Amino acid sequence: RGLIVARVIPGTPASRRGLREGDILLEANGMALARASDLREVVEESIDKGYVTLKVLRGGKVFEVDVEVLVS
C-alpha cells in the first residue's frame, strides 16, 4: 500500500517540505494511494487550493505534510 518516493528534485515544493527518497506516500487529501495515477488525480484536483496534504510513512512513523501544487 502506498507509493515509494524514488527521487526528490532539489528546490521543488516536495524537497522544501522535507520529503525524502524512500518515503512512502500513503494518502493524498485523505485518498489512499495505490498507483501514481491516484496521486496525479488528487494533485490535479488540488490546483485551485494550491496545496495537497500527504500522509507519509518514514522509518515506521506516519506524519502529514502540506505540499504546494505548481501549475506548469
Q: Which domains are assigned to the chain?
A: 3-68 (2.30.42.10)
- Report CA 31 to chain centroid distance, whole Å: 11
Say what the pLDDT of residue 58 is: 98
- pLDDT tens, per residue, the chain with 72 residues: 899 999 999 999 999 999 999 999 999 999 999 999 999 999 999 999 999 999 999 999 999 999 999 887
Specify whether the CB–CB gap between 44 and 70 falls below 8 A. Answer: no
pTM over the 0.75 mark: yes
Longest dimension (CA), the chain: 34
d(CA 26, CA 20): 14
pLDDT of residue 45: 94
φ, ψ of residue 61 to 5 degrees: the values are -115, 145
Q: What is the pLDDT, as a whole number, of residue 71?
A: 80
User: What three-state secondary structure class fits 45?
Assistant: helix
